[in-house]
Amino acid sequence: MNRLRKPFLCAALLLGAVLLVTILVALPGLSDFDLADHDQRELNFTTPQARLTGTLVRPKGRPATTVAILVHGDGAQDRFSDGGYLPLMNALLEADIAVYSWDKPGIGDSSGNWLDQSMEDRANEALAALEAVAAETGSIPIGFLGFSQAGWVLPDAVRRSDKAAFVVLVGAAINWRRHGMYYTSRRLEAEGLDAAEIAATVAARQTRDDLLFSSQSVEAGTSPPDGMSAERFSFIVRNRDADATAHISEIRLPLLALYGAEDLNVDPRANAALYRQAIESGHQKSRVTVFPGATHGLLRASLFNYQLPSQMPALTKAAFVALGRRAYAPGALQYLSDWINDVTREGERQRPEAAGLLPSSEDGGYCGGLRRGVTAPSPSGLAVPASGSLASPPA
């Protein structure tokens, strides 16, 4: 009897130890999804199309040095992106950076319909949010932090306003059609197609979509593809010619463009190269940085590299919750918050590269970080579901 009980007890003790370690590991991550330690205030604003509701979150017990306004990527996102923004927000708040975010039109408590918007509408909405935050917070610097589709929104917004202190773009899209081709290519690659098959399939779909989503097609009463709503169809037709190339060359305020080297949604190297060229004539503190081992949303690619959240297994989603901010690529959130503070606080501060947040150029690491085009080495929101059309990848 005792001989039988001993292996059982050992197994029980081992299981208990594993559960204890799991709980201890998970606790720090769980706290990253709680904003109770910070001051929260509802802040609303209006545009000609909608009344938008959002939340301004500030560090409790100490003044914020600046405010980062979050600008969503694609999809029906609320102010906290279904909780996905919370680890990022907590990291910024701990760096004394307040955060403002709002429900997209028709989501949460906001009126309107985000699918009725053009990218110009979204840029106007971002500028209206800037005015509302400025009226609430006074004279502290305010800037933008946008994701993916915000790459078509914020370059237009900041070139038309001198009130923003900075702009940060994570996984920014630039050209809608090139973006769709890259997204589809990576999906087909994952399905096992070879290079020739991928090229032929992408070209065929591009030709099909040029016809399907043309204004002439809409005027002729063409129905949306199977599985696509009429609203989404109209959204694509309205925005499919989006191209931020000209707008990014007009940005004169401090710009930080961040890409993950393992991005499956937008081409990190091609887009980083375009931003690299743009900052040559831009602000001296502008940077373009590609983080190795990072996803579209700067998460650890080894754990979280999926094109769509719906592809993510339940265990992977649980890992994101358990890890919290540690789900991000090493150094990414620290680099982001330090750069924002560097460009908004008075006086010269140590550059992130010099502070050891990124390897120096002499280290021979991956060269993705750039200052005014000079090479320096070199990471939630996750993409949202979209139709299967090449014309409508998530961004």
pLDDT digits (tens, 9 = 90+) for 215-249: 777 777 788 888 899 999 999 999 999 999 999 99
- CA neighbor of 172 nearest in space, from 239, 267, 241: 267
What confidence tier does 360 reach under pLDDT thresholds 50, 70, 90?
very low
What pLDDT, on a 0 to 100 scale, did the predictor assign at position 377? Answer: 24
Average pLDDT over residues 71-96: 96
Which three-class secondary structure state does DSSP give residue 32? coil
> What DSSP string runs through 298-317?
SBBHHHH--SSGGGS-HHHH
What confidence tier does 59 reach under pLDDT thresholds 50, 70, 90?
very high
Rounded mean pLDDT of the chain? 84
What confidence tier does 27 reach under pLDDT thresholds 50, 70, 90?
low
One-letter amino acid for residue 68 of the chain: A
What pLDDT, on a 0 to 100 scale, did the predictor assign at position 292? Answer: 97
Distance, in Å, from the CA atom of 375 to the CA atom of 45, rounded to the nearest integer, reads: 41
Which three-class secondary structure state does DSSP give residue 115? helix
The topology under which CATH files domain 38-175+242-376 is: Rossmann fold (3.40.50)
368 pLDDT higher than 60: no
Orientation angle between helical segments 314-323 and 2-31, nearest 10 degrees: 70
pLDDT digits (tens, 9 = 90+) for 3-18: 545 555 555 555 555 4
pLDDT digits (tens, 9 = 90+) for 168-214: 999 999 999 999 999 999 999 999 999 999 999 999 999 999 888 98
pLDDT digits (tens, 9 = 90+) for 254-268: 999 999 999 999 999
Q: Is pLDDT larger for residue 272 or for residue 360?
A: 272
Burial of 116 by CB count in 10 Å (0-12 exposed, 13-18 middle, 19+ buried)?
Answer: middle
pLDDT digits (tens, 9 = 90+) for 144-175: 999 999 999 999 999 998 899 999 999 999 99
Domain spans in the chain, listed from the N-terminal domain onward: 38-175+242-376, 180-238
294 and 261 Cβ atoms separated by less than 8 Å? yes
What confidence tier does 134 reach under pLDDT thresholds 50, 70, 90?
very high
Residue 309: count of CB within 10 angstroms of its CB: 20
What pLDDT, on a 0 to 100 scale, did the predictor assign at position 351? Answer: 38
pLDDT digits (tens, 9 = 90+) for 317-329: 999 999 999 999 9
What pLDDT, on a 0 to 100 scale, did the predictor assign at position 144? Answer: 98
One-letter amino acid for residue 328 of the chain: Y
CA distances from 238 to 115, 235, 249 (A): 10, 5, 23
42 pLDDT higher than 80: yes
